[in-house]
Structure 1
Amino acid sequence: MKKFVATDYVPRHFQWEVVGKVATLTLNRPERKNPLTFDSYGELRDLFRELRYATDVKVVVVTGAGGNFCSGGDVHEIIGPLVGMQEAGDMPGLLEFTRMTGDAVVEMRQCPQPIIAAVDGICAGAGAILAMASDMRIGTPRTKTAFLFTRVGLAGADMGACNILPRIIGAGRASELLYTGRSMTGEEGERWGFYNRLVSPEDLLANAQALARELADGPTFAHGMTKKCLQQEWSMGIAEAIEAEAQAQAICMQTRDYARAYRAFVGKVKPVFEGN
């Protein structure tokens, strides 16, 4: 059976730290507000794909260095070359790029570990997508989140935004952000449900990692099943969804964690979950 040891992973384009069962991925180009490049997109896609096979990491925190989350695709290293492809009539090359960026979101949604985005400052373009694709988001009052695609002549439909964003904040609000490209303030983001909560910039990473540790100490097999159901039930009717959840619960009832929880309840102690 294939295995991926997350504690041994050495990234090329961002920081990666594993403490206990929690990994923290830090976009680390603070002088440019942490933009993405062709290579960092590809590495993010590949890492989240490999995390399906990791047993040592149970939750991932994604954040940015230097008081900002991510300013999107690097203007010089991505947008410039893409304009060159357009001028050369390289439609296959453009499609290869857009499919690669979309695959990063697919892998984030399909890896079993919950992903928590810790977002401060600028969260724009592809950065807003990375936050959107996470399972939970913690922001700060100074966070500015913008789906900028129409500002550069592109559709708001990028990397799953038209599918995922309306499910988080509602169709009307998503439409406003995707059509206008305007920034959503931290307060708006919390009120609309994009951010689970706002904390001070100084407390952001510690808050996200504390939540991650809480989840990592829980029934992590069941968390993975919850994430799977949240993902696959988007396209189901209610009867299909109830059947899928019946199957999910029957599977979880076969885990040792289920029995551990029962025995802890009987013994009036806190359960200690082991993820199996």
Structure 2
Amino acid sequence: MDFVLVGRPVPDVAVVTLNRPERMNSMAFEVMIPLRDTLRSLSDDTSVRAVVLTGAGKGFCSGADQSGDVPDVPHIGGLTTPTIALRMMELLDDLVTTLRGMHQPVIAAVNGAAIGGGLCLALACDIRVAATGAYFRAAGINNGLSASELGLSYLLPRAIGSSRAFEIMLTGRDVDAAEADRIGLVSRVVDEADVVAEAVG
């Protein structure tokens, strides 16, 4: 199964779809590493003028994979557990910096939940369009982390201002699409069926 799909609905635009809907497109490494490599390839493709990032099914990206499966992380043989954890975070950080460094503008078509690392992926995009049922959560604080992972403490205040950002980061509460629109987290809210088309258009 291909966990990352690339479509060309119009000649100059590439739509990249996270394709693990049964796990709400969580950040499993078998998804995130191909996503990073796909984005790098598209960044160098001069026929692509814009990139749209979205998720299959009901979620945009639900963040850390909580399935309990052993993560498929490359190049960790013989490493200690703390070093493996560091490598895992470095790989995910690399994905966010890849998005930020794309040669083309990247539009997040947020079709559903953008939780934890999924919120970070959306924030790493240049523009965010949300479906009416989309919601956002800085879930790190709920998982015993700092809520500053993957650039969140840098990206979120730049998008919506420091006071709103820190309240969202420290409470871990859900921000629905209407509030996200009101505070400037997204550019617009559209019907779920139209979110990718709106991002492409």
| Equivalent residue for 2:150, pick from 134, 144, 159 | 159
Structure 1's 151 and 49: CA in aligned 2 closer, same or farther, altered over 3 A? Answer: same
Match of 2:159 in 1: 168
| Equivalent residue for 2:125, pick from 134, 139, 144 | 134
User: When you count helix as a share of all residues, which structure comes out higher?
Assistant: 1
Q: Could you list the runs of 4 or more consecutive aligned residues of structure 1 that deviate by over 6 angstroms after TM superposition?
A: 78-82
2:147 counterpart letter in structure 1 = G
Q: Distance in 2 between matches of 1:42 and 1:78?
A: 16
Query: After superposition, where does 1:96-135 map in structure 2 within 5 Å?
Result: 96-135=87-126
Match of 1:263 in 2: none
| Equivalent residue for 1:34, pick from 22, 25, 39 | 25
| Equivalent residue for 2:8, pick from 15, 18, 27 | 18
Bigger radius of gyration among the two: 1
Deviation string 1:98-119 (CA, Å, 9 cap, x unpaired) is 1110110111111111101111
SS at match of 2:61: coil
Answer whether contact 1:146 1:184 (CA < 8 A) is retained. yes
Answer whether contact 1:37 1:77 (CA < 8 A) is retained. no
Task: State TM-score, norm by structure 1.
Answer: 0.66
SS at match of 1:105: helix
SS at match of 1:156: coil
Answer whether contact 1:123 1:143 (CA < 8 A) is retained. yes
Query: After superposition, where does 1:1-276 map in structure 2 within 5 Å?
Result: 12-19=2-9, 20-76=11-67, 90-210=81-201
Structure 1's 173 and 79: CA in aligned 2 closer, same or farther, altered over 3 A? Answer: farther
Tell me: higher relative CO, structure 1 or 2? Use CA pairs within 8 A at least 6 residues apart.
Answer: 2
Answer whether contact 1:38 1:77 (CA < 8 A) is retained. no
- Measured after TM superposition, the shift of residue 78 of structure 1 is 6.3
Q: Name structure 1 gaps, 5 residues minimum.
A: 1-10, 211-276
Residue identity over aligned pairs, in percent, reads 35
- Measured after TM superposition, the shift of residue 81 of structure 1 is 8.8
1:31 counterpart letter in structure 2 = E
2:36 counterpart letter in structure 1 = R
Aligned-pair Cα RMSD in Å: 2.2
Q: Distance in 2 between matches of 1:178 and 1:78?
A: 27
User: When you count strand as a share of all residues, which structure comes out higher?
Assistant: 2
Matched positions, count: 196
SS at match of 1:137: strand
Answer whether contact 1:37 1:78 (CA < 8 A) is retained. no
Q: Name structure 2 gaps, 5 residues minimum.
A: none
Q: Distance in 2 between matches of 1:80 and 1:183?
A: 27
